[in-house]
Amino acid sequence: MNCDSIYQLALPGVQQLIPYKAGKPIEELERELGLTNIIKLASNENPLGPSPLALAAIQGTLKDLALYPDGNGFNLKQALSSKFNIDARQITLGNGSNELLELIARTFVSPEHEVVFSQHAFAVYPIVTQAVGAKAVIVPAKQYGYDLDAIRHAISDRTRVVFIANPNNPTGTLLAGNELESFISDLPKTVICVLDEAYFEFIATENQANSFEWLDRYPNLIVTRTFSKAYGLAGLRIGYGCSSAVIADLLNRVRQPFNNNMLALAAAEAALNDHEHLQKTVLNNHQGMAQLLDGFRKLKLDWIPSAGNFVSVDLQQSGEAVYQALLHKGVIVRPVANYEMPNHLRISIGTQTENHIFLDALESILAHV
């Protein structure tokens, strides 16, 4: 049997998948161009790093690495339950919130179903949809954000899941809480609404909607969040979903045992209670966003207003050429042509120094193109 024959054994949806392409690692750029002192503003990571409490928790756990972790994540679930006033039975832990999106698709979606999401929405939504052989229904965006009325009209008898990212990645657009809850309340009871809140902590306090309070009213709602962004634990891959206890039980039936490692569980529990580090992170993000927007104004560039820890800037030309030029200056950002935004680059908020280096590099490049 040759390789072509093996390829044909894969599911049709898998054969046609285009793998998710992550932001370029620093080490890769070092190898390619021989550069040093590279800054990475590509993957919406926390520029302040992990919480000191999380690092201490990791250190304290190292002696137990020969043991399996708690497959149920009891301590972290209890911490989440206490913080958000949610029954621990309503919580599902994931290897990042990305795994939860896959678990939801595997649990509820078959090739006979449709999955609805917006244009410019997170790239994992079409990936998990196609992987299970379902049909993706992509609704045109409205000013780079979700058009909830159009999504309502796109729902059919075959729709099983609707993905809503709030704020959305890579555009940063934000839906108002009352508008979003109204949308969820109107959904057919046979449609699971996945509210992806990976960037929730960066939303201005006055604009934050407590979606966990909706869970008792809407048994078809799942809210996913992550420790990868504001909590600075992207390298440990840990996230969580909150839902009805019935949905959590179903997700846990397909979740792999020990999907969260011991270090991640300990670090997440500690980070959850480090309010000072989270406040510093949010403040740095607020100041850094203002710094980037001021720089874009001086360069006469437009951007998409963002409620996350990143901003997509319109270069008024192909973003790929500018992205490549930035790489040669040791600055990694994120091209978003695969999101149907060929003239934009997505910039993660860094430290004040990193933001300054990026803006200087961008100004230099745009002066010569």
Per-residue pLDDT, averaged over 124-136, amounts to 95
> Which of 16-25, 211-220, 255-264 comes out lowest in average pLDDT?
16-25
Q: Does the N-terminal peptide bond of residue 170 adopt cis geometry, omega within 30 degrees of 0?
A: yes
Altogether, the residues listed in the chain come to a count of 369
- Given a cut of 90, whether residue 33 has pLDDT beyond it is no
Mind listing the pLDDT tens digit for each residue in 158-171?
999 999 999 999 99
Task: Name the more confident of 13 and 277.
Answer: 277
**φ/ψ of residue 51, rounded to 5:** -60, 140
pLDDT class of 1 with cuts at 50, 70, 90:
low
3-class DSSP state for residue 231? coil
Nearest to 148 by CA among 195, 205, 100: 195
Rounded Cα distance between 14 and 6, Å, is 13
Distance CA 30, CA 86 (A): 45
Tell me, what's the pLDDT at 18? 72
Cα–Cα distance measured from residue 314 to residue 300, given in angstroms and rounded to the nearest whole number: 10
Tell me the pLDDT band of 16, cut-offs 50, 70 and 90.
confident
Alpha helix ranges (H) inside the chain = 3-9, 12-15, 26-33, 52-61, 74-84, 97-108, 124-131, 148-154, 177-186, 245-254, 262-272, 275-298, 319-328, 352-366
Tokens of 306: 């963002």
Cα distance between residue 55 and residue 267, in whole Å: 7
28 falls in which pLDDT band (50, 70, 90)? confident
pLDDT confidence bin for 20, thresholds 50/70/90 = low
Residue 162: its pLDDT value, please? 98
pLDDT at site 3: 64
Q: What's residue 6's pLDDT?
A: 73
Give the full edge-to-edge strand order of the sheet including 135-139: 91-94, 239-242, 221-226, 192-196, 159-165, 114-118, 135-139
Distance of alpha carbon 256 from alpha carbon 312, whole angstroms: 35
Q: What pTM was estimated for this model as a whole?
A: 0.94
CB 105 within 8 A of CB 115: yes
At position 324, the amino acid (one-letter code) is Q
Tens digits of per-residue pLDDT, 292-336? 999 999 999 999 999 999 999 999 999 999 999 999 999 999 999
- Check residue 2 and give its pLDDT: 63
Domains in the chain with CATH codes = 3-36+276-366 (3.90.1150.10), 52-274 (3.40.640.10)
Least confident of 36-40, 53-57, 118-122, 165-169: 36-40
User: To the nearest whole number, what is the mean pLDDT of the chain?
Assistant: 95
